[in-house]
Amino acid sequence: MSQFSVSERAAASGVMSQTRAPYFVRKKKGITPRTIAILVFLSICALFFCVPLYVVVVTSFKTMDQIREGAIFSLPTIWTLEAWDHAWNHACSGIKCDGLKVGFWNSIFILFPSLILSISLAMVTGFALALWNVRWAGAFLFLLFICAFVPFQIIMYPLIVMTTTTKIYGTLWAVAVIHAVLAMPVLTLIFRNYYKDIPTEIMSAAMMDSGSFWRIFFEIIVPMSGNILIVVLILQITSIWNDYLIGVTFGGLTGQPMTVNLANLITISTGTTNYAHNMAAALLTAIPPLVVYFLVGKLFVQGVTAGAIKG
Amino acid sequence: MLKSILGGVTAALMLSSAASATDLIIYHNWSSGPEVAALNVLKDGLEAKGHTWTDIAIPHDTGSNVNLMNLVTGGTPPNVFLESSPGVYRDLAGLGLGRPLTEFFTEQGILEHYPTSVVSSITVDGEIMKIPTAIHIDGMAYYNMEVAKAAGVDPASWDSIDAMFADFQKIREAGYIPIAIGGQQWQVGYLTHALAAATGGPAFYNALYGAEPDPAVIDSAEMRTLLETLRRFQQEADEGSVNREWNVTTNMVITGKALMQIHGDWMKGEWTAAGKVAGTDFGCVQIPGAKAVPVTVDSWGILGGQPADVDAAELDFAAVVADPEIQAAFASAKGSTPTRLDAPAEVLDACSVEVLHILENADHQVPNPHSTVDADWQNSIWDVVFNFWSDPSMTVDDAIAQIQENYDIILG
């Protein structure tokens, strides 16, 4: 929404300074310079993202012989799925050459516990901070706010020691717990701000009916959280799926996510580079969050705007 | 997994029953085709001794091996790790997890079969800490033989860098780029230390890139020659060289757009992947008239402070890596050169044979800076020479003044 209006203004100011045509003239015509300017601007924006994507997609279908020729924009002379098959089934991550599918399943197994843990933790905390009289709630919120700005790299070492002491280092659970802890500041703030705007009448009625923290949470708050849950789900799925550092640090010997597989495939020291394989692998890794966007993208916008109107 | 365990068990039964089967966790950053083929050579060797191989691959650069130290901190250190940087071995020794190998190598009588640069690369603070697994020469000239023929030049006949530059006009007239160069900081840095060895010789090189650099060489005749030579290479760089990857650069030579490239001889992998044969399609020579060549040694380390059976298995791994037959098989799979001068030559390609021939002369080789020098000092040299490379108006004196200043800050 805001992006559109900014571009509109930018385009309009550029045109207006030259033509200075009265407004009503433009109203009659179907296509005005202003519309053209907007369309040109938006096309350039789209090209900015589409051209590299085009190269990635096209390259993934080429043979290595054609890639060596160097014309990156040309269409494949022979369309081949070899690179995709190789990336999924045969790419090597170390001595194991079973493709990205190994990492894909690891990523899935990391994703669900991490999602459930991080979202449920933040939801309850946000609910408590927004609607209950918690002692030191203001100070706690402020602390959370500060925590949101602490880079993960700074606290990585202590976190390793803590997970080692609790005997979960090197397991899927360590990865899930760390994701939950690191996402907590931002997610809690999102939930807290959303719940803050629930009318006090609803809360008062609920208090009179039951007064139980958990009953109000499950029977009133959770059913009202649809929109914001979609927003948080998309945020979390994207960040957990694309995460490399937490997975590689806490995943240990067997729990490495798909991004580590991808990095192994693409980072070469003294080996040879197969660009077709790399492109196919990168696309395979990027697809799952994209699918989620396409499925619930509309709900995402609804969720964001719902929060915006209320706030 | 099951298959490898069964293979290990069968092999153990076939051999003497004295060796007990141990699972070793092997940490490395190799995942490309030739590298994995080479790892499998070692894996087969390890399994023949009755042990099993558990693999963990995490991509990283030499010198910043945070993931390895994270695994150590987390209490799940690997038994064997691919690591050249001396800093990691010092860190491990500080944690009581170092495993000196001087005694092992002396007992086995292996050391005298290694080139001198290999021995200095695997030594950390006077003790041998690493098991050398592969050799690469940092500055070899690989050239396209067809292009050489078409242009009427013979790179093997050049006996000095001047003779090489003298032929460049002829190559250009024939319609080829004489030398393809990838203008990235690390590539220019590698070219610089290769030229330091080639033009300055071992004494100058070791004074600049040794464990304890000697400030006297910073403003010396050799340093001036080095920087002037580097400038001549920069002047020859083609238009597209800025920020070009080394393997893209190699492809210019493979496809016949350029005659030659001077870079680490891991270039060979690109040539082989394109189906070309050493000695027929492409030739390899050291930098013309070189006084010495810099040698990169990829090495393994093993974890100390282990129970006796694990320690024995780790030493078995060391013995597998050092075995001459396995060395030859490993090198031909990876496209590297064996670390042993007595590795059987019949399985090696023309370029590896050439490299082993060069390395027979103990005075003609120096170790890669990464395995000896202070990382900050190394980075500061890269920084200065890349500025020098990128800015043709920067003089040799400017560069020397900057290097001097960096020396005073870092090591002075």
| pLDDT tens string A80-95 | 888 899 889 888 888 8
- pLDDT surpassing 80 at residue A304: no
Q: Contact B73/A252, CB-based, under 8 Å? A: no
Q: Do A252 and B76 count as a contact with CB atoms less than 8 A apart?
A: yes
**Beta-carbon pairs below 8 A across chains A and B:** 108
Tell me the two tokens of residue A44. Answer: 């350039």
What does the pLDDT look like over A137-171, one tens digit per residue? 889 889 888 888 888 888 888 899 998 898 888 88
In this prediction, residue B306 carries a pLDDT of: 92
> Which has the closest alpha carbon to B362: B111, B110, B118, B102?
B118
Minimal-distance CA residue of chain B relative to A264: B59
Beta-carbon contacts of residue A20 (< 8 Å; ≥ 6 apart): none
Q: Please give the domain boundaries of chain A with CATH numbers for all domains.
A: 2-90 (no CATH), 101-310 (1.10.3720.10)
φ, ψ for residue A215 (rounded to 5)?
Answer: -65, -45
Determine contact: A158 vs chain B, CB below 8 A: no
- Sign of the alpha-carbon torsion through A167, A170, A175, A176: negative
Share of chain A above pLDDT 70, in %: 86
User: Which residues on neighbouring strands pair with residue B248, listed in sequence order?
Assistant: none
The span from the CA of A109 to the CA of A89, in Å, is 19
Whole-model pTM? 0.77
Chain B positions in Cβ-Cβ contact with residue A265 (cut-off 8 Å): 31
pLDDT tier at B199 (50, 70, 90 boundaries)?
very high
**Cβ–Cβ < 8 Å for A271, B264:** no
What is the pLDDT at residue B5? 47
Confidence at residue A75, expressed as pLDDT on a 0 to 100 scale: 87
Across the range A234-243, mean pLDDT stands at 92
Mean pLDDT confidence for B70-83: 89
Give A257-302 pLDDT, tens digit per residue. Answer: 899 888 888 876 666 778 888 899 999 999 998 888 888 877 777 7
By C-alpha distance, the chain A residue nearest B334 is A271
Closest CA to B56 of A46, B47, B72: B72
- The tens digit of pLDDT for each residue in B389-412 reads 999 999 999 999 999 999 999 887
Q: Give the ipTM of the model, two decimals please.
A: 0.72
Taking the Cβ of residue A68 and every Cβ of chain B, the question of whether any pair is shorter than 8 Å is answered with yes
For chain A, how many residues are written? 311
CATH class given for the domain over B2-136+295-366: alpha beta
Q: Pick B251's closest partner by Cβ from A68, A160, A252.
A: A68
Separation between Cα atoms, residue B218 and residue B215, nearest integer Å: 6
- Report residue B381: phi and psi, to 5°: -65, -45
For the cut 80, the answer to whether the pLDDT of residue B307 exceeds it is yes
> Of A96, A170, A273, which has the smallest distance from its Cβ to B76's Cβ?
A170
* Whether pLDDT at A19 is above 90: no
Rg (alpha carbons) of chain B, rounded to whole number:
22
* pLDDT at B14 exceeding the cut of 50: no
Q: According to CATH, where is 3.40.190.10 located in chain B?
A: 2-136+295-366, 140-292+391-410
Distance CA A228, CA A194 (A): 7
CATH of B140-292+391-410, one of 3.40.190.10, 3.90.550.10, 3.40.50.300, 3.30.365.10: 3.40.190.10
Burial class (CB in 10 A: 0-12, 13-18, 19+), A135: exposed
pLDDT surpassing 60 at residue B4: no
Digit-coded pLDDT (tens) for B141-165:
999 999 999 999 999 999 999 999 9
